[in-house]
Structure 1
Amino acid sequence: MAKSQQTFNKSEKEKKRLKKREDKRKKMEARKLEKEANGGTGGIPIAYVDFNGNLTDTPPDPTQKIEVEAENIEVSIPKTLPGEKVEFDPIRKGKVSFFDSSKGFGFIIDAENNEKYFTHVSGILDEITENDNVQFELEKGQRGMNAVKVKQA
């Protein structure tokens, strides 16, 4: 006589699968009944924004409504007026605090904000030594800002 192919584990998995399907069907029916009990409004509730910008479930008071013209809304940086002139000088001044010509690098202290910037021999235009007053520009490097186009002031 042949042995049945149905094992205990297989039958348990089948029972769990059928129970899960039945639970899902019952939940769906319960949602349908709840929707019918609420008068058919089972959708997403409407949210309103009051005059302070907070979300509420009640509509805002129309007397506190403020009219805003589309031209007055600024999304970006405001443009400069024709009479205004923005002065930005990329050339900075500083003093060489350390420079090793054999290794090819050094550091410059900015005169405005006393920040220390790394400089490499490839970014130096004139020959510099320690305590020289120099002019330079800044460039983003791997570890921060680097002084480039360095020349004596």
Structure 2
Amino acid sequence: MADRVTSDNPSVTTVDATLERYGGTRRPQVVAPADARDRFPDEGEVVRLVVDGHEYRARVAETSDGRAAFRGAYDTPRLARSRDGTNHLREWLQSTDLDIGRTVHVDVVEPDFKYGVRAPGETARYTATEKPKSSLADIARDLDG
């Protein structure tokens, strides 16, 4: 059985992000503060994102002022890159009472690899997953893309 960690585990770092709109639309995004930019990979990288207990894939976006953002959570890395299919992050946000401007916690479970989002006051449980060796990740990226 895989190890599990909770959001209050000392190995998990929590970043207080903000719900914001992006573009000229009403679409929400979860935006990390500028001083936490180093806790997220470069724009365009696909990471694991746990939303409401389910693990999805998300492409890291960047705001116009350089802050890291998540704009969606999708079933596969390919869907995350193309932003096609069901956006589970958007579904989760619609099911909560969180509005634009509110704080959302982003848990850094494994830097540059696995993150989780949760509403303030909630505790999340994550399956501990190690980041694959870069050579395996590069092969998978080449096959998927």
TM-score in terms of structure 2 length? 0.29
Which of the pair has more CA radius of gyration? Answer: 1
* Between structures 1 and 2, the one with greater strand share: 2
TM-score in terms of structure 1 length? 0.28
* Between structures 1 and 2, the one with greater helix share: 1
Indicate the structure whose relative CO is greater, using CA pairs within 8 Å and at least 6 residues apart.
Answer: 2
